[in-house]
Amino acid sequence: MKLVIENITKQIKGKVIISPFSTELTEGVYALLGPNGAGKTTLMRMLASISKPSSGRILLDGKDISLLDENYRDQLGYLPQDFGVYQTFNAERFLLYFASLKGLSPVDAKKRVAEVLDLVNLTNERKKKLGTYSGGMKRRLGIAQALLNDPKILIVDEPTAGLDPQERIRFRNLLSDISANRIVLLSTHIVSDIEYIAKEILLLENGQLLQRSTLDNLLTQVEDNVWTAIVTQEELAEVQRSFKLGNIQRQADGISIRIVSPEKPLPQAKNVQATLEDVYLFFFNESEAQSHD
């Protein structure tokens, strides 16, 4: 299976949201990483066939998805960033309703709803009204909804927003388990979600694909640009003005800082191993990078 994105663009009210964008996706997990306003959600909505490109086309195994229409959507699972629920429904009824919309028979729907509730650890809460659910529980329900039709293409926009660390680990493992025979594309601001499961990372800024690469290759590009140093309170303000800073930690002997810079930023600075957060700071400007979760 291959999803080909061929020179797609998107303009909204004359503003360019996505510049000519091309890539190919096969089975596995791909992560879309970029600052707020980079165009991630717009791109995912086009791939989910909710919004049409202004130009270019998207092909599934050589066929334009706009021509495949319902046949494409039958193979698609989508979790938007803003996922609403019916507050008076319980989880089981909510998913049965969505299963009917997706064309599952009553027998198949009942079986599948039980399976996805178990996958997202909501079996024990399946009879509770959704109005009583926490934000994390609603997010898990949204993930279950996206998996109902056992999709071959799964598109999830900020899927772990609102999930606690244990839930995020469970979801990462779930994505990894199911990605062997399907295309999974996720966007997230939580870099640990990407670190452990992404086959490749797509860096997006201002609607343009900056780079598509493996995590190891991105880390290699950044490895000589990451430093740590101990500074005083007085030095910190100057360093913040001059460099991209990652972690800032107060210690007994001063303030420990992490700096992303192509050259040695301070005499006392020492090179350290790069992380995906450093990759983010390296490729995106500081103000945008600091706005992510």
Per-residue pLDDT, 238: 92
State the Cα–Cα distance between residues 87 and 224, nearest whole angstrom: 51
Residues with Cβ within 8 Å of 76's Cβ and at least 6 positions away in sequence, in order, are 48, 49, 151, 152, 153, 154, 155
Q: Please answer whether residues 116 and 109 qualify as being in contact, where contact means their C-beta atoms are separated by less than 8 angstroms.
A: no
**Spatial contact of 224 and 245, defined as CB atoms under 8 Å apart:** no
d(CA 221, CA 286): 18
Contact status, residue 206 vs residue 39, Cβ threshold 8 Å: yes
For residue 64, the tally of other CB atoms under 10 A from its CB is 14
Q: Is the pLDDT of residue 221 over 70?
A: yes
pLDDT at 289 over 80: no
Per-residue pLDDT tens digits for 187-206: 987 787 788 889 999 999 99
pLDDT for 170 equals 82
Q: Among residues 220, 214, 218, 266, which one has the least CA distance to residue 245?
A: 266
User: pLDDT band at residue 293, thresholds of 50, 70 and 90?
Assistant: very low
Mean pLDDT across 76-99: 93
For residue 192, what pLDDT is reported? 77
| C-alpha span between 65 and 224 (Å, rounded) | 43
Higher pLDDT, 156 or 293: 156
Tokens of 5: 């994105």
Residue 287, phi-psi category: left (phi > 0), alpha (psi -120 to 50), beta (remainder): alpha
Q: What is the pTM of this model?
A: 0.88
Q: At what angle do helices 135-147 and 91-101 cross, to 10 degrees?
A: 30
> Which strand (E) or helix (H) includes residue 169?
helix 165-178
Grade residue 110 by pLDDT with cuts at 50, 70 and 90.
Answer: very high
The alpha carbon torsion through 164, 170, 171, 174 (nearest 10 deg) reads 180
Q: For residue 217, how far is the Cα from the chain centroid?
A: 19
Rounded-to-integer distance, Cα 185 and Cα 35, Å: 17
